[in-house]
Structure 1
């Protein structure tokens, strides 16, 4: 339901660039990429930010994160969206200010 809502917004405003913070399994990102594909914008891009997608830190939830290491990016690649995404493995408070440049 939430994914379809995201898609509707993206299609309604004909978004060319979207930002998704926290990739996890990539479910939201898949919905976003599907919608971006529907806008038929050759420059469509999903910027996704997740400091722990590829290198989980030890601590609470470490084993869960270790098992899903890179799963969100892998799901996006399997769906054929590798060329649409720009992935940043850093905290969002460091990446977002740089996106203005």
Structure 2
């Protein structure tokens, strides 16, 4: 745990060991250290043993989740991270940081689009305690990710989304909130980053219902 915490701290203070030419801006796309702490603490409180993450980037959220898995004390922690652009856009920096933290025995990196892999994961009967979503921000991609994560994350589990201040992300999760019983955990991420203009929080956490409801298509209602 100390090793993971050290790598997390160095990433927050010094940035990544290298910045890919033409790659995404670190300060813009990475999860701030404080927000990572909040995700870590929530997952520790949930006593997670298996987590699915969409999007790796520079690895800040994955390191926080890895720390949570170690703190939770699960006998067989497992972290599935899905990012088709890790080696093309980020030159593998995020994965290298996970390995330097000693998490390569816990984390499995999947280098294909989440909308395809999550479907196969659900078909295989894979079960996770929680998920963290910070992949494509296109509405239809977020919606598909959440659809399959609703089948993968166990009843009563938690799904955390980054960048819910983006309308496309907020609109996608609003459907699951209004039609499938996902409950926003308003106090789960206290003091997290918020938009300085609108005040909208950067992240959102949602509890899945104990039983998966089947909505009536005749009772469909607007959700945006």
TM-score normalised by structure 1 residue count: 0.84
**Partner deviation per Cα, 1:61-101 (whole Å, 9 max, x = no partner):** xxxx2xx3000110000000000001100000011112221
1:19 CA displacement: 1.4
1:21 CA displacement: 1.0
1:22 CA displacement: 1.1
> In the alignment, which residue of structure 1 is the partner of 2:58?
25
Distance 1:40 1:10 in 2: 12
Establish whether residue 75 from structure 1 lines up as the match of residue 97 from structure 2. yes
Number of aligned residues = 90
Matches within 5 A, 1:2-81: 2-54=35-87, 56=88, 65=89, 68-81=90-103
* Structure label with greater radius of gyration: 2
When the two chains are superposed, the root-mean-square deviation of aligned CA atoms in Å is 0.9
Distance 2:40 2:56 in 1: 17
**Partner deviation per Cα, 1:32-57 (whole Å, 9 max, x = no partner):** 00010001112111110000112x2x
Distance 2:72 2:120 in 1: 26
Determine which structure has greater relative contact order: mean sequence separation of CA pairs < 8 Å that are 6+ residues apart, divided by chain length.
Answer: 1
Distance 1:42 1:78 in 2: 22
Where in structure 1 are there 5+ consecutive unaligned residues? 57-64
Where in structure 2 are there 5+ consecutive unaligned residues? 1-33, 125-224
Return structure 1 stretches of 4+ with deviation > 6 angstroms.
none
TM-score normalised by structure 2 residue count: 0.39
Distance 1:81 1:27 in 2: 13
